Structure 1
């Protein structure tokens, strides 16, 4: 169990403000300062630095934060396993991003259920940013994400490498058929919310050309992948989807891929957990059990 002063440290890391951390913990600001000083004395290292009216973590503080979050995460995992003997030992508490939830995880999850029919399963579907935050708080044991994450905070395995396509409705009409990514800027972009892998991949591709999402004629932002696909099917604009997510509609002739000379993207979908977790071997076993089989695309080669 973490020392109560470590909770204070994590609150300061979250808010980067002693006063706001004190309010969140319902203690006084001098108590927060006292807890941080105690930790700095224990570890014989400064944890925060203050410059230009901004509080920031030192290198030592970053290391302590990562360790503390992993310990907090593992404690929650341990509690779940101790309270769930028998079938509960195979309980799954995890998160996935929408593409994984819709297109990649259902068959492996059904396979897992057949193997452990009495095991409770809880799966959260959200964007990468939210899932990483839930991992940090110990609310999830692991996550399978399509977005970018801080690699220094998590151990990971490559779940799948998936082609990323520009798509539109089958009947969507361009004034002039696009050849490169910038040709799409005169169209409406249908895209997920900030924090999602869907948006971040597009943002990074555009930034290489000194462009931004806001450079499209207009933007329709939605937080639900099913709604995004429906809007594309209805001809509301152009979008970007993983091949696995678009394949059913592509195969039915309801969506069409937009071939672009300067956009041949593939992106890693990653199985991750808190770095340094004592349950790492368990997560590696789950990775093998939940890996997709017999689906087009690059296989689930492992890589840390």
Structure 2
């Protein structure tokens, strides 16, 4: 069990405010200061720097925050592991982005659950930014993301590589003829996900490489749900950029078509990520490998139960 002063330190790191941390923890501000001083004396380093009324972590504080976050999350995973020894039920909390959860994981996850009836999976949805926060808070143990994330801060395992494309209604007529480059699309209505979404972040980075922003489109509509974006696309209400896996049905049935551009062609990885340095890395890798194998088998139209040996996740020692 981690020292209660660790919880204080992590809370201050999240709020960057002693008063807010005291309120969140239901203790006094002097108690918060005392807990931080104790840790600084124990580790013989300064953890925070205060300048211009702004609190920030020192380099040593950043290291301690990363390590203690991993330890806190591992402790929660340890509690679940110990409980599973009593109930004989495995449990894992997995966060997924909207695109992954709605279009890229259902079949593989169903195959895995059929193989492992003893396994409980807590599936949490959020955009990439929200999932990174859930990892930091320990709400989830792993995340499957399709956006950019700081790879140096997380352990990761590739789930799949997906095509990222521009799409419009099959009957859509462009105002100035078929587009050849990104700039030819600026007169169109762009349907785009909310800020923090991996799908949007990829588009923003591609636009930035060309000196462009989403706001350069004459019209754009921000939508926080992929189903709604696809529905609007099918009704010829604009264009969008998203993962091909999300619209394979609509493309195959000629409801939507791909926008072919000379200056745009890309693929992007869907990655499992978890806290770097976790003692459960081997277990998380095994989970990721198995689900990725299920995905490949589902794509081939096979039955994963007949082709893979059923093995439990590795035990921790």
The TM-score normalised by the length of structure 1 is 0.92
- Cα deviation for residue 118 of structure 1 reads 3.5
Match of 2:106 in 1: 106
Match of 1:71 in 2: 71
What is the SS of the residue equivalent to 1:159? strand
In 1, the alpha carbon distance for the partners of 2:289 and 2:241 equals 29
Match of 2:207 in 1: 206
Q: What does the per-residue CA deviation read over 1:89-130, in whole Å, with 9 as the maximum and x for residues that have no partner?
A: 432321111221122212221221121124222212221111
Match of 1:225 in 2: 226
What is the SS of the residue equivalent to 2:42? helix
Match of 1:81 in 2: 81
In 2, the alpha carbon distance for the partners of 1:147 and 1:78 equals 29
- Cα deviation for residue 84 of structure 1 reads 2.8
Match of 1:182 in 2: 183
- Cα deviation for residue 87 of structure 1 reads 6.8
In 2, the alpha carbon distance for the partners of 1:287 and 1:168 equals 33
Match of 1:283 in 2: 284
Q: What does the per-residue CA deviation read over 1:127-183, in whole Å, with 9 as the maximum and x for residues that have no partner?
A: 111112112222212111001222233100111121100111111221122111122
In 2, the alpha carbon distance for the partners of 1:155 and 1:79 equals 21
Question: Structure 2 regions of 5+ residues with no counterpart?
Answer: 301-317
Question: Structure 1 regions of 5+ residues with no counterpart?
Answer: 297-304
Q: Structure 1's 219 and 275: CA in aligned 2 closer, same or farther, altered over 3 A?
A: same
In 2, the alpha carbon distance for the partners of 1:25 and 1:87 equals 32
Alpha-carbon contact 2:91-2:120 (below 8 Å) kept: yes
| Within-5 A mapping of 1:118-157 | 118-157=118-157
In 2, the alpha carbon distance for the partners of 1:129 and 1:45 equals 30
In 2, the alpha carbon distance for the partners of 1:30 and 1:212 equals 46
Match of 1:235 in 2: 236
In 1, the alpha carbon distance for the partners of 2:109 and 2:92 equals 10
- Cα deviation for residue 218 of structure 1 reads 2.0
Match of 1:299 in 2: none
In 2, the alpha carbon distance for the partners of 1:73 and 1:240 equals 35
**After TM superposition, which residue ranges in structure 1, 4 or more long, deviate above 6 angstroms?**
none
In 2, the alpha carbon distance for the partners of 1:87 and 1:256 equals 50
Pick one of 267, 291, 296 that aligns with 1:293. 296
Give the total of aligned pairs. Answer: 296
CA RMSD of aligned residues (A): 1.6
What is the SS of the residue equivalent to 1:179? coil
The TM-score normalised by the length of structure 2 is 0.89
Match of 2:44 in 1: 44
In 1, the alpha carbon distance for the partners of 2:19 and 2:184 equals 49
In 2, the alpha carbon distance for the partners of 1:92 and 1:108 equals 16
- Cα deviation for residue 63 of structure 1 reads 0.8
